Amino acid sequence: MILILDDDPDRAEAFEGCLRTLTPEPMFEIYQTAERFISDLPVTLPQAQLITLEHDLDFAGAGDQPSGNGMDVVRALVKLKPACSVILHTRDYDACRSMASELQDGGWSVERIAPVAGGAGWIPTVWLPKALDLVAFST
């Protein structure tokens, strides 16, 4: 199971497109809000092979529900036993450094990917190879 926190519709579509090409029934969940990601952790974390987090959740904040951010998820994760690797895929450099530091201090393995501006083209070319390496390593 791959757990993804990202609220951008174009990136979500790119993540899903990449993962659907791998197996007939890929196991992944894309979350738009930190709150929902965190509330599902008791069920999803034991199955997780990879977690990938964005920090800024701009699109999800447009609704009634608070979207939170990637650091909210990090704060929840560091209270738990490390279960898999985490990719941080955010352009917010300062937030990424803080998230990585918290996770590493909590014993989590962390990789950082700086998304290339201008769309979701970095997902199949940069994110997917790293994700595949980490999932293969964890199995």
Task: Domains for the chain: give ranges and CATH numbers.
Answer: 2-138 (3.40.50.2300)
- Is 102 a residue whose pLDDT tops 80? yes
Mean pLDDT value of segment 28-43: 94
61-99 residue pLDDT tens: 555 566 789 999 999 999 999 999 999 998 889 999 999
Q: What is the 3-state secondary structure (H, E, C) of 49-93?
A: CEEEECCCCCCHHHCCCCCCCHHHHHHHHCCCCCCCEEEECCCCH
Cα–Cα distance for residue pair 76/39, rounded to 1 Å: 10
Q: What is the pLDDT of residue 64?
A: 58
User: pTM of the prediction?
Assistant: 0.90
89-101 residue pLDDT tens: 988 899 999 999 9
